Amino acid sequence: MAAYGTLTWVGHALAPLTPGITEDLIRVTEQMIPVDDIAADLGDMRAASIAENIAAVQHVLADNIDPATVGPPPGAAAYAQRLARRGVPLTVLLRAYGLGQYRLLDAAIGLILATPGIDHNARIAELLRFASIYLDRLNSSMGRIYEAERDRWLSSRQAARQQWIARLLDSDDVDVPAAEEALEYRLDRSHLAVEIWTPPTVTGAEATRAMEQARQVVSSALRTLGRGLVASTGDRALRIWFPVEGEQAIGDLTAQVVASGLPVRVALGSLGEGLPGFRRSTRNAARAKDLAVSAGQTAPPVVAYDAVAPFALLTDDPDELAALVRRTLGALAGAGVKKELLRHTLDVFLTEGASYSRTARTLDVHRNTIQYRIQQITTRYGITLDTNSFDLRFALGICRWHPHVLTRTF
């Protein structure tokens, strides 16, 4: 037997009052939480949910049912599930239940106070204990129903989005208008695919937070024309397509990513038009990411495919890459901090037109230091600088972006 038998008369006395309470609660709820805030077609469901919940409380009280054993009415559960699918916050639902509790308690306390010959304080205290248990049980049940439906819906929606994206990327026969509607992303414009990922040391909530913040940084730095299309490519990776206008200032993006201090790396595809450009930008962003991962810690925080395309395409035959580097650089194509420093100096030296002074300014060292390093390169490693500088720079670039060639033996 439940411990609230002395309140059964309150439940019976509430019965003729419930229509008025329900009508008043629907009206007040609509004023506090307008239907437009959730969706016009949910108005009837909300009204039915309120009526069911009011009737349920009256029934539990009148029949002396233990409130700790009561579940939510079917209509209320369906309403919570619909709100979850619409993305309406759970707080909207719980706020309505709090308002309903207040209205019922107000009416029930009024009945108790109007009844002579009873201990008013004891009955009101008992009613408040009942209401606390009932509302806690209801809120917990509705919260679980809402969250389970939200998780199921999001999982289903995400799966459908991934299927549409896969069709856009791989299928020769894809319904583009249907894909645009499902993804809420237009394909008849310029796109820039962006890969964002975190190092293996960043996991869980920290990785999720870092990628979301990085997405906002990238969106702010690029000249976007609207909301991007986001897809997860792993636990610590996102792929985003941004609608953009014209070529982007990668230097600005790099500066903002560095300034953010986020533990992320970013790779950009090439700008592309329409569905073909959407696909090409995606492929090239993935190639730029693979190259950045291959380069390891030496890669900059932002890698643009257009700036590294020749090296991003060199992935099929690592033995040939290593052989090319060895033929051009000889023993300088070896592992070690000193050889890496000499290769970097040579790369800058060739970029600066073999100018010792400009190379020194770029590397922020003394001119004599540059002369000493170049002398080591030419005498100790036998590299001739009057040969084709393209071959040298190409080999140096391979060493930077494909460091695995440095440890490869023949």
Please state the length of the chain. Answer: 410
**What was the pLDDT predicted at 195?**
94
Task: Give the mean model confidence (pLDDT) for residues 235-264.
Answer: 85
Summary mean pLDDT of the chain:
84
> Minimal CA–CA distance to 38: which of 99, 95, 1, 88?
88
Same domain, 211 and 332: no
How far is the C-alpha of 155 from the C-alpha of 333, rounded, in Å? 49
Same domain, 145 and 18: yes
**What was the pLDDT predicted at 48?**
85
> Minimal CA–CA distance to 254: which of 314, 311, 194?
194
Q: What is the pLDDT of residues 126-158, one digit of tens each?
A: 888 888 888 888 888 888 888 888 878 767 777
Same domain, 258 and 335: no
Q: Are 7 and 127 in contact (CB under 8 A)?
A: yes
Q: What is the pTM of this model?
A: 0.55
For residue 409, pLDDT over 70 is answered with no
Does 200 fall in a domain? yes
Q: What is the pLDDT of residues 89-110, one digit of tens each?
A: 778 778 877 888 888 888 889 9
Same domain, 107 and 221: no
Bridge pairing between strands 265-268 and 302-304 = parallel
Q: What is the pLDDT of residues 188-221, one digit of tens each?
A: 888 999 999 998 888 888 888 888 898 889 888 8
CATH number, residue 205: 3.30.70.270
For residue 314, pLDDT over 90 is answered with no
**What was the pLDDT predicted at 1?**
44
Task: Give the mean model confidence (pLDDT) for residues 246-262.
Answer: 83
Per-residue pLDDT band at 248 (split at 50, 70, 90): low
Q: Are 24 and 103 in contact (CB under 8 A)?
A: yes
Same domain, 296 and 351: no
For the beta carbon of residue 337, count every other beta carbon within 10 angstroms.
7
Same domain, 323 and 308: no
Q: Which of 276-290, 323-337, 356-370 has the lowest mean pLDDT?
A: 323-337
Same domain, 84 and 217: no
Same domain, 125 and 215: no
Same domain, 32 and 145: yes
Question: Domain total for the chain?
Answer: 3
Range of the domain at 201: 190-312
> Which residue has better confidence, 245 or 106?
106
**Percent of the chain clearing pLDDT 70 (strictly above):** 93
> Minimal CA–CA distance to 372: which of 406, 338, 396?
338
* DSSP structure class, residue 227: P
Per-residue pLDDT band at 315 (split at 50, 70, 90): low
Rg value, the chain, Cα: 34
How far is the C-alpha of 151 from the C-alpha of 156, rounded, in Å? 8
**What was the pLDDT predicted at 193?**
93
Q: What is the pLDDT of residues 158-192, one digit of tens each?
A: 778 888 888 888 888 888 998 888 888 999 888 99
Does 168 fall in a domain? no
**What was the pLDDT predicted at 81?**
84
Task: Give the mean model confidence (pLDDT) for residues 283-303.
Answer: 88
> Minimal CA–CA distance to 260: which of 223, 215, 193, 195?
215
> Minimal CA–CA distance to 405: which of 286, 283, 296, 285?
296
**Percent of the chain clearing pLDDT 90 (strictly above):** 14
b/e map 19-51, b = 16+ CB within 10 Å: eebbeebbebbeeebeeeebeeebeebbbbbbb
Does 63 fall in a domain? yes
Same domain, 288 and 344: no
